[in-house]
Amino acid sequence: MNEPAENLREEILDRIGHCVSDTELEQLRVEYLGRKGKLTGLLRGLKEAPPEKRPRLGEELNQLRRFVEGRIEERLKILKEDKGGKALSEERTDITLPGSRWERGRIHPLSLTMDEIIDVFLGMGFEIARGPDIEDDYHNFEALNMPQDHPAREMQDTFFVSDNRLLRTHTSPVQIRVMERRKPPLRVIAPGTVYRHDELDVTHSPMFHQVEGFMVDRAISFSHLRGVLTHFLRQIFTQDIGVRFRPSFFPFTEPSAEVDIQCLVCGGKGLSQGAKSCRVCGGSGWLEILGAGMIDPEVFRFVGYDPEKVSGFAFGMGVERIAMLKFGIEDIRLFFQNDLRFLRQFP
């Protein structure tokens, strides 16, 4: 082999041995074997050699080219094997190390409370019904004895989707939808999400949860309502608490009542430790918990029932309100902030 070719061979071999990546090998290949590479330049320079030497020199340079290509391929194969082995080594699991535990999820306190409420009523023979979150004005207001100009509409600041469509302000429309399709006897609860244009603060949220319930049959009286709700409240708070009914007003029930329970903190005494006024009930000894009443005859007429033949009661409660009392939570916003420190407290 002529001296320039031999020198180039040694130079290339040395360079190949120092390549540590496929990128470096590709750069070396272009530098020596590319269109403007050094070895390619020697092949192109054969035209300057004496005619009688061109065949021998051409054969030597072509052999060198094939040799270099082979060595580059070998080096590339070695680098890939080393890279694969390193990756396997890094990914290998050391079974002698202690295992890592996945933290178990927890049921949200609102879901816990909703499930408990539903379980109590299922135990009393009620069934579950659900309705759409986007309601029409008729089912949300008018069929519940709240015509367009009724002042009770002002109590429920409403999110309107269109002129006649709105995000339901309570789950009471489900009562209308069930009674439109079915005849008494009925014992139904309607749990779900409701929406009102309230400012978010410690006791209000623009989205919250309610459970509406109603019973319709012949000769249903206020005594039935009182018995059902007293049993429910003592079950949900797991103690024999006092329950009272105060006269109130709702456009779809008559008579209507607000239902209170004895304060869970002071036990109805109105005083906390140190003879100070209880901070939860404000010293009254009672906590408002839900609204209820006998279904207004006008509501029965909207769904085609004869109020002379059937009667019934209805009630509605806020799930957040009950959860706050059960778990001693003072800020409704905690339910919606997804703070894991808060949620981990509910196994």
Q: Which of 63, 91, 119 is the last residue of a domain?
A: 91
pTM of the entire predicted model = 0.69
Rounded mean pLDDT, 16-27? 80
d(CA 252, CA 289): 19
Q: pLDDT tens across 200-248, in order?
A: 888 889 999 999 999 999 999 999 999 999 999 999 998 889 999 999 9
- Mean pLDDT (whole number) for 39-46: 74
Single residue among 91, 117, 149 that ends a domain in this structure: 91
> Do residues 218 and 325 both lie within one domain?
yes
Pairing of strands 186-195, 127-128: parallel
**185: cis peptide before it, omega within 30°?**
yes
Residues 35 and 128 in one domain: no
Residue 249 domain-assigned (yes or no): yes
Angle at 163 between CA 158 and CA 164, to 5 degrees: 80
Residue 244 is assigned to a structural domain of this protein: yes
102 inside domain: no
Q: Is residue 98, in this structure, part of any structural domain at all?
A: no
Confidence of residue 85 (pLDDT cuts 50, 70, 90): low
103, part of any domain:
no
In a domain, 304, yes or no: yes
- Residue scoring higher pLDDT (74 or 188): 188
- 296-306 in b/e form (b: 16+ CB < 10 A) is beebbebbebe
Which one, of 207, 206, 190, lies nearest residue 198 by Cα? 206
* Half-sphere CA count of 66, side-chain side, radius 13 A: 5
DSSP class of residue 91 equals H
> Does the CA dihedral 151-157-163-168 come out positive or negative?
negative
**CATH code of the domain containing 114:** 3.30.930.10
Q: Find, among 121, 119, 141, the residue nearest to 252 by Cα.
A: 141
How remote is the C-alpha of 321 from its chain's centroid? 21
The contacts of residue 62 (CB under 8 Å, 6+ apart) are: 43
Greater confidence (261 vs 274) lies with 261
Residue 96 lies in a domain: no
In a domain, 140, yes or no: yes
Q: Do residues 72 and 119 both lie within one domain?
A: no
Range of the domain at 74: 3-91
- Statement to judge: residues 214 and 117 lie in one domain: yes
Residue 272 is encoded by which pair of tokens? 């906390």
Q: Does residue 174 share a domain with residue 264? A: yes
Kindly state the tokens that stand for 334. 């905690």
d(CA 31, CA 8): 12
* Among 91, 122, 155, residue at a domain's last position: 91
| Mean pLDDT along residues 243-263 | 93
Average pLDDT over residues 9-16: 79
Question: How many domains is the chain partitioned into structurally?
Answer: 2
Question: Are 165 and 39 in the same domain?
Answer: no
Residue 37, classed as helix, strand or coil, is coil
Nearest to 179 by CA among 25, 307, 67: 307
What's the average model confidence in pLDDT over 49-66?
76
For residues 126 and 249, state if they share a domain.
yes
The span from the CA of 178 to the CA of 187, in Å, is 10
- Calculate mean pLDDT across residues 7-26: 79
Whole-angstrom distance, CA of residue 342 vs CA of residue 173: 33
Residue 42 has pLDDT above 90, yes or no: no
Instruction: Please report the pLDDT score of residue 187 as a whole number.
Output: 97
The whole-number pLDDT of residue 89 equals: 64
Percentage of the chain surpassing pLDDT 90?
Answer: 47
Question: At residue 58, does pLDDT exceed 80?
Answer: no
Residues 113 and 179 in one domain: yes
Q: Residues near 339 by Cβ (< 8 Å), separated by ≥ 6? A: none
- Reported as a pLDDT band with limits 50, 70 and 90, residue 116 is very high
Query: Does residue 180 carry a pLDDT above 90?
Result: yes
Mean pLDDT of the chain: 86
Residues 236 and 311 in one domain: yes
Please tell me the predicted confidence (pLDDT) of residue 274: 60
CB distance 253 to 276 below 8 Å? no
